[in-house]
Amino acid sequence: MSFWTLQQVAEHNKPTSCWVIIHNRVYDVTEFLSEHPGGAKIILKYAGNDATEPYDTFHAPDTLEKNLPPEKYLGPLNPSDALALTHAQRDKTKTKDQLRVEEALTHRPPLHRVINLADMESIARRVLSHKAWAYYSSASDDEIAYTENARAFSRFFFLPRVMRPVAICDPSTTILGYPSSLPIFVSGAALAKLGHPLGEVNITRGAFVPPSVHLIQMVSSNASLSFTEIAQAAGDGQVLFFQLYKHRDDILAERRVRAVEAAGYKAIFLTVDAIVPGNREKDIRCPWVLEDEEAGVPPVYVEDTVGAASGGEANLFGTAGALIANDDRSMTWEKTIPWLRGITELPIVIKGIQCVEDAMLAAEAGVDGILLSNHGGRQLDYSLPPLEVLYKLRRQRPDIFSKLEVYVDGGIRRGTDVLKALCLGARAVGLGRPFLYAQGAYGVSGVTKIIQILEREIVTGMRLLGVSAVKDLAPDMVERVDWQPLATKL
């Protein structure tokens, strides 16, 4: 096999001939430019150069093998040039944001000082890169839906029962028949490697620590590690679900479903609320913030009449919006659910139900569960908080809860939030951002820590409610009020 030099690769830096280097291997991606979900521009930025760092950050390791024909791998880089690349990367001047992160990591408080999920989020805000924080924390438009997801919980108050035996309190449950030590699960979220080099594997390892911690992790189609790698990191008996973003090509979609099933995943969560990316402006602005930071002086802008007339060249996809560019925008109850039932025997849950009417259609379609979710406020702004949808479903169609399992995510930050959802009929609740923040700030230990925090809060809340088992949580233990408390911080 012939070797390539950096000079030879550098000559192929145009749309008509585009080569890149990934882990000292040379690839011809010219024909892939038009197919790349993020568009050709991002690849051309690295045309004729080393693209290993951005590739590792945003793609699972097997992405190239899945999307490029074998003949597009041209061969290895010349050993001396590969060594030169290694030295260049080692000696590369660090950005101001990288230096800030390194400094912040040395001043993280010890984990025993993290006593709630808000503490963990505050630490993550300081130690994550600007890009990671912008992507994880961003929500659509004015972020009203994101804010109200959490505020919705403040409209529900408890009606505790007293003089009931709670010395023994069991917070465990089952989700689709699989045991969980707590009535919570990891909701699917993309690009965990933005926050930590080990990415989703941190969550996998932190969510399953026998004998006490057995949580279920939902793995996103857009994870920064392959679903196979994550499955291989799972412990013996650990349960993983898969969050499916269905490709518009049924053949490709079927291939993924069958591969996921073969890898040992136990359920498919079909995502239906993200057929186009939400308008996440904090994430969109991220590159400009970093550019201005590196400049070190206030930027000077000049009027760009050409750009203004043409709409400019802003990347409105943001960090990961392009990941769903090829998703199916023509899914229907009549077509998609039978198709999915026809290719897998795994339980099917619809993720992204946002109204009672669609919950009824899901039950009629015969799925195994629904996840009431507005994607953490990241898709349609002013979509109703999932807890309010759960409340409406409980009042209008209580029979639905006996036909399928109902879950909810979005805005859960306390064990009491979990209990309110369970009282209203949720089988379990999902958390996404808290696990990204925890693994980004402390790795595996951070994930285990927030599980311990939630367990303490859930068990304490159950005892104060007068219940000793999850099954005893009932609708008459909560009441919705038409006012909201004034929250204070110590």
Per-domain boundaries in the chain: 6-91, 123-279+321-480
d(CA 104, CA 101): 5
Q: By mean pLDDT, which of 127-136, 323-332, 404-413 is the weakest? A: 323-332
Extended strands (E) in 221-367:
240-244, 268-271, 348-353
Q: Are 321 and 277 in contact (CB under 8 A)?
A: yes
* Homologous superfamily of the 123-279+321-480 domain (CATH): Aldolase class I (3.20.20.70)
Question: How far apart, in whole angstroms, are the C-alpha atoms of residue 70 and residue 449?
Answer: 44
pLDDT digits over 441-482, tens only? 999 999 999 999 999 999 999 999 999 999 999 999 999 999
Q: Are 19 and 9 in contact (CB under 8 A)?
A: yes
| Residue 229 near residue 204, CB atoms below 8 Å | no
39 or 349: which carries more pLDDT confidence? 349
Summarize pLDDT for 390-403 with one digit per residue, the tens. 999 999 999 999 99
Residue 245 falls in the annotated catalytic set:
yes
What residue type is 461 in one-letter code?
Answer: G
Report d(CA 464, CA 162) in Å as an integer. 8
Cα–Cα distance, 362 to 351 (Å, whole number): 10
pLDDT, averaged across the chain: 92
Active site residue 273: yes
Average pLDDT, stretch 158-168?
A: 97
pLDDT of residue 305: 53
Nearest Cα to Cα of residue 456 among 203, 184, 202: 184
DSSP state of 158: E
pLDDT band at 137 (very low <50, low <70, confident <90, very high): very high
CB-based contacts of 248-256 (< 8 A; 24+ apart in sequence): 248/326, 248/327, 248/328, 248/329, 248/330, 249/326, 250/339, 253/328, 254/343, 256/221
- Whose tokens are 């892939």? That residue is 32
Catalytic site residue from 50, 81, 273, 328: 273
For residue 25, what are the β-bridge partners? 22, 76
pTM of the model: 0.90
Contact 256, 230 (CB under 8 A): no
Residue 267, pLDDT > 60, answer: yes
Which tokens in the block code for residue 383? Answer: 């979509």
**Amino acid identity at 416:** T
Residue 249 is a catalytic residue: no
Q: Which amino acid is at 15?
A: P
Q: Which one of 46, 55, 146, 245 is the catalytic residue?
A: 245
Whole-number pLDDT of residue 134: 94
Q: Where are the beta strands (DSSP E) in 23-95?
A: 25-28, 73-76
Coil/strand/helix, residue 479: strand
Q: pLDDT by residue (tens digit) across 183-193?
A: 999 999 999 99
Q: Residue 27: its pLDDT value, please?
A: 94
Looking at domain 6-91, its CATH architecture is Roll (3.10)
The one catalytic residue among 12, 130, 247, 375: 375
